[in-house]
Structure 1
Amino acid sequence: MLKFKLLLWALTKLLQRTIKNNPGCANYVKGKELTFQMQTLAGVGRHFTIKNGAIKSASGLTKSPQFTMTFRDAAKGFAILSAKDGKEAFLGALRDEDLVIKGDFVEVMWFQGLTEYLQHKKQQGI
């Protein structure tokens, strides 16, 4: 459970750094307003807010996210989010129902676009 919580916190920090250091990413989030959360079935999670070109997060859940990613448990969430081949892990998790996504799928796709900026850094060895 602790590794999952730490990973969600680290995701915020990584996104903040990427927005700050990558003009393309900064432009991608510019003008965007979005609140979403990642959680376990047991209700452990973190919510994220993108507003005014920045991302913030807080421990716990929010009442009205635009979408929610719910993982079967913390171990599955950690494994999926930290997988080297993120897209394959996500698709497999959706197929196996280890991950359920509810809410605005247009916003989910936008978020996937945001995570591409993180993948780009990984591929460059940064």
Structure 2
Amino acid sequence: MLKFKFLLWALTKLLQKAIKNKPGCANYVKGKQLIFQIQTHDGIGRYFTKKNGKIESSAGVTRNPQFTLSFRDAAKGFAILSAKDSKDAFLTGLRKEDLIVSGDFVEVMWFQGLTEYLQPGKKQHNPADALM
């Protein structure tokens, strides 16, 4: 469970660094306001607030997130979130019901676009460019 909690805390720091150091990422989040959470089925997790060009997080859960990623347990959450092939792990987690996504699916897709900026060695880009 500690690895899962640490990973969620570290995710905040990585997102903050990407927003600060990658102009494409800063542009991607500009003007976005969002509250989402990542948790286990039993309620252990962290919620994230994206507003005013910044992202912050707090331990625990909130009542009205725009979306929630809920993992079967902390071990599954850690495994899926830290997988090298994150897209495949995410889809496998959904298929096996180790991951339940609830809330606004459009915001989930936006978040997945944001995580593209965390991929090491990838060219800085705007994931929305792929849609054009």
TM-score higher than 0.5: yes
Residue of structure 1 equivalent to 2:5: 5
2:42 alignment partner in structure 1: 42
Quote the residue 1:73 is aligned against: 73
CA RMSD of superposed structures (Å): 0.6
Kindly report structure 1 stretches of 4+ aligned residues shifted beyond 2 Å. Answer: none
* Gapped regions of structure 2 (runs ≥ 5): 123-132
Question: 1:123 maps to what in 2?
Answer: 121
TM-score with structure 1 setting the length: 0.95
Instruction: State the identity %.
Output: 74
For residues 85 and 51 of structure 1, what CA distance do their matches in structure 2 show?
A: 29
Instruction: Name the structure 2 match of 1:54.
Output: 54
Q: Quote the offset at 1:123 in angstroms.
A: 3.1
SS of 2:36's equivalent in the other structure is strand
Matched length = 122
* SS of structure 2 residue aligned to 1:70: strand
SS at match of 2:64: coil
Counterpart of 1:104 in structure 2 is 104
TM-score (norm 2): 0.91
**3-state DSSP class of the match of 1:84?**
coil
Partner of 2:128: none
Mapped to 1, the partners of 2:117 and 2:7 lie a distance apart of: 17
Partner amino acid for 1:109? M
Structure 1 position 9, deviation (Å): 0.1
